[in-house]
Amino acid sequence: MGNRVGNHRRQVLTILDPVVEDITHVWTTDQQDRLCRWIHQTLGIDVCSYKQPYVHRRIQARLRKLRISDPEKYLALLEKDPAEPDHLINALTVNVTQFFRNPSTFAMLEEKVYPELFQMADPGRPVRIWSLGCAGGEEPFSMSLQLAVHRAYHRRYRILGTDVSHAVLDRARKALYDADQLDSVPEKYRREIQAQEEGRFTFSRTIKQAVRFRRQDILDLDQYPISDLVLCRNVLIYFDRTRQAEILHRLAFCLADDGYLVLGRAETLAVEARDLFDCVDSAERIYRKKRS
């Protein structure tokens, strides 16, 4: 962390006061370091590894919302207001997602990835699927719907959803969605949707039981579960190339032989990790672990 904080020192965080636009508050290196250390120690997020312009934009947005311009006032608020840490996590993590996001990727999972995975995997254990950065559960539940409806695989499987944000994991565990959130669920899976109170909806027991959720920071490289398929979509974009390469190396280590990795549409394999995976479908960002 020392070096990263050192690099971080050279960055200047400028907060524009939304009320008095001509006053510019510059964070001193000490204030920046205190904020980074506080976030790391208290929230368990190593923000020094995130792309710094991104972190700065998100913190600025939070301060603008609070109409606070003085860094000291914000640091004091973090200590004083028990609700502010959650707001800061929400500001630092973007949870945009939807069921069957990028439908052609899910079509490719169904046509190619699941059949091979279920045929190859050791019959003595369940097929292990990991949705890393699962937000409100939309991605793991999309896979659960696909796998339940294609019972033809006749194999056990379990789906793990992990995320750094407690708030999104609470939503995921509740599995309650508004009708418009479910618009992107294809017709063939709709029989698994059940009406609940107050105009909200959930999924059948079978769909929910296949999915477990756990809080985990992608930067905790020691906590990666062994998996046969990992969806790591729209999470790597937060991190610099060095961290991306570390994450991809660890994912390759934790993937079973011939296991699959799916990245987000806007993401590419860091050059340093290209010898670890074969490309299965470049448009859908589907890769397969190379045999060692």
Site for ligand SAM in 194-213 (CB under 6 A): none
Hey, what amino acid is at 79?
Answer: E
Shortest CB 228 distance to ligand SAM, Å: 18
E strands, the chain, where? 14-16, 24-26, 127-132, 157-163, 177-178, 193-195, 200-203, 211-215, 227-232, 255-263, 277-281, 286-289
Shortest CB 155 distance to ligand SAM, Å: 24
Tokens for 201, please give them: 């909806």
Query: x/- string (CB under 6 A) for ligand SAM, residues 140-169?
Result: -----------------------xxx--x-
Give the one residue of 133, 140, 161, 259 binding ligand SAM; rule: CB under 6 A: 133
Report if residue 129 touches ligand SAM, rule: CB under 6 A: no
Q: Which residues contact 184 (CB under 8 A, 6 or more apart)?
A: 98, 99, 100, 101, 103
Shortest CB 74 distance to ligand SAM, Å: 21
Shortest CB 220 distance to ligand SAM, Å: 8
The distance of Cα 251 from the centroid of its chain, to the nearest Å, equals 14
Strand order in the sheet with 255-263: 211-215, 157-163, 127-132, 227-232, 255-263, 286-289, 277-281
CA contacts within 13 A on the Cβ side of 33: 12
DSSP 100: T
Shortest CB 60 distance to ligand SAM, Å: 18
Nearer CB in complex with ligand SAM: 236/255: 236
Report if residue 243 touches ligand SAM, rule: CB under 6 A: no
Nearer CB in complex with ligand SAM: 137/259: 137
Shortest CB 101 distance to ligand SAM, Å: 4
Q: How many residues bind ligand SAM (CB under 6 A)?
A: 22
Report if residue 96 touches ligand SAM, rule: CB under 6 A: yes
Report if residue 229 touches ligand SAM, rule: CB under 6 A: no
Which residue(s) pair with 202 in the sheet? Answer: 194
Residues that bind ligand SAM (CB under 6 A): 45, 93-97, 101, 133, 135, 139, 163-165, 168, 217-219, 233-235, 238, 264
